[in-house]
């Protein structure tokens, strides 16, 4: 099981939405992390053969995915940011409809649909119309349809976008459960979505993949330390302008700041343990505001 990107580029006009990406992925969960607009969706759409690279190759077990065609799509499961469905179909009918598109025989599809709906916690809602589902329920149905063909590659594009904290936890647990014996690629700009479940982290910025490795190695790659200090409210703006501030917590006497810096920002600043969110802020800085993804 080996998925390989070789100098993969996607150009729209004069803009490289994805620029010379090289990486190798095998079994496990890969978290593709980057701000909105980094090129994550474009990369995934190429992986799912929705758009073709302008340059380079994507190989599955050494063979070009575009030459493999239908043979490749049989091992692929995909949950895009927004997936289409007929709103008046029930959950069960929608799943059976997707089963027919994927070429599953009816007796097998019935068993598979029941199994998957149970696995994602949607079996008791199988007769409810899609238009009457909550956002979290729709996402659960989305991952169930992506699993219908028991894919070896499962691609999830911003799977927890718009979900409340409880639904996001449920979704992360589900992804972790589904990752056995397959390659899962999950793109997000929400650090907590991958912090505890991804075996490997990949950072993408301005269309380029500039880091691939474990979360521990990514955090260790920061030369800067992380400091916690207390300042008066009147000084918050000063520290915001001079330092990379990861968090501000209001206190009775002022504010508690989490600052990323090589040097100690205040006399009473205390060094604290770095985490993945600190690394995200360090590498993406002020660009972590939301933009439209490429």
Over the stretch 256-267, which tens digit does the pLDDT of each residue have? 999 999 999 999
What pLDDT sits at residue 82? 82
**89, pLDDT greater than 90:** yes
Instruction: Measure the CA–CA gap between 210 and 137, rounded to whole angstroms.
Output: 34
**195, pLDDT greater than 90:** no
Prediction pTM value: 0.85
Over the stretch 215-230, which tens digit does the pLDDT of each residue have? 899 999 988 999 999 9
| 284 vs 44: which has the higher pLDDT | 44
What burial class does residue 55 get, using C-beta atoms within 10 Å of its C-beta: 0-12 exposed, 13-18 middle, 19+ buried?
A: middle
What pLDDT sits at residue 271? 95
Q: Would you say domain 3-214 falls under CATH 3.30.1330.90?
A: no
Domain map (residue ranges) of the chain: 3-214, 223-273
| 67 vs 288: which has the higher pLDDT | 67
């Amino acid at each position: 099981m080996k998925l390989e990107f070789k100098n993969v580029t996607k150009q729209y006009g004069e803009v490289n939405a994805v620029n010379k990406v090289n990486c190798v992925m095998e079994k496990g969960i890969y978290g593709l992390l980057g701000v909105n607009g980094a090129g994550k969706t474009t990369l995934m759409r190429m992986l799912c053969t929705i758009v073709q690279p302008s340059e380079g190759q994507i190989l599955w077990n050494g063979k070009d995915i575009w030459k493999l065609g239908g043979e490749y799509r049989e091992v692929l499961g995909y949950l895009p940011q927004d997936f289409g469905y007929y709103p008046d179909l029930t959950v069960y009918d929608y799943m059976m409809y997707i089963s027919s598109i994927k070429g599953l025989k009816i007796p097998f599809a019935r068993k598979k649909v029941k199994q998957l709906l149970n696995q994602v916690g949607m079996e008791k809602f199988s007769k409810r119309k899609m238009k009457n589902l909550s956002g979290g329920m729709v996402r659960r149905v989305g991952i169930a349809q992506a699993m219908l063909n028991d894919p070896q590659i499962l691609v999830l594009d911003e799977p927890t976008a718009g979900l409340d904290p409880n639904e996001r936890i449920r979704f992360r647990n589900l992804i972790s459960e589904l990752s056995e014996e397959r390659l899962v690629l999950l793109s997000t700009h929400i650090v907590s979505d991958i912090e505890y479940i991804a075996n490997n982290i990949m950072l993408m910025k301005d269309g380029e993949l500039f880091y691939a490795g474990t979360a521990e190695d990514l955090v260790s790659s920061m030369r800067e330390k992380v400091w916690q200090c207390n300042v008066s409210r009147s000084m918050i703006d000063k520290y915001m302008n001079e330092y990379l501030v990861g968090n501000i917590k209001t206190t009775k006497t002022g504010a508690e700041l989490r600052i990323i810096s090589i040097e100690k920002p205040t006399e009473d600043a205390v060094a604290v343990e770095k985490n993945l969110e600190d690394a995200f802020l360090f590498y993406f800085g002020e660009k972590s505001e939301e933009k439209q993804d490429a």
